[in-house]
Amino acid sequence: MTNRLQHGFTLVELMIVVAIVAILASIAYPSYTQQVRKGRRVDAKSAILELAAREEKFFATNNQYSLSGTALNYGSDFPISLITGGNTSYALNITQATVSDYTITATPVGDQVADACNTFVFNNFGVQSNRTAGGSANTTTGCW
């Protein structure tokens, strides 16, 4: 009889590797999605500050703020979809009580709704805050 060398893996060895990969993935995926949401927050804050700069420029020229996206050199009126990574992550909107004030909000859309910071708010005085989905103050730290 000749001795044959066996090459390859047994089913048990393969299942152990699959189990290890599944455990690693179950740990890594939530961390990954949290980091993606955190990155989208940065995009929302940048968009808010850019809109605020456009409002201030408009105010310097016209002595009033605008609610029109086209007047502020956007392609459309508000709300404007903030697209990050091919998906809409925030809806950028602006409201105003008088011609001498404004409030900008970035409301999460889609997967971003699960983010702890929820809605970003910025006004003409430079006050930055966050609101919950219900509209009350969000006390999560580290959002701005």
H and E: helices and strands count for the chain: 1, 5
Residues in CB range of 56: below 8 A, 6 or more apart: none
- Given a cut of 80, whether residue 7 has pLDDT beyond it is no
- DSSP letters spanning 19-33: HHHHHHHHHHHHHHH
Write down the domain spans for the chain. 11-131
The pTM of this model reads: 0.80
- Given a cut of 90, whether residue 47 has pLDDT beyond it is yes
Cα 72 from Cα 20, distance rounded (Å): 53
Cα 98 from Cα 94, distance rounded (Å): 12
Q: What is the pLDDT of residues 86-96, one digit of tens each?
A: 889 999 999 88
**DSSP state, residue 124:** T
The phi and psi torsions of 83 (rounded to 5 degrees) equal: -100, 125
**Percent of residues, the chain, with pLDDT higher than 90:** 72
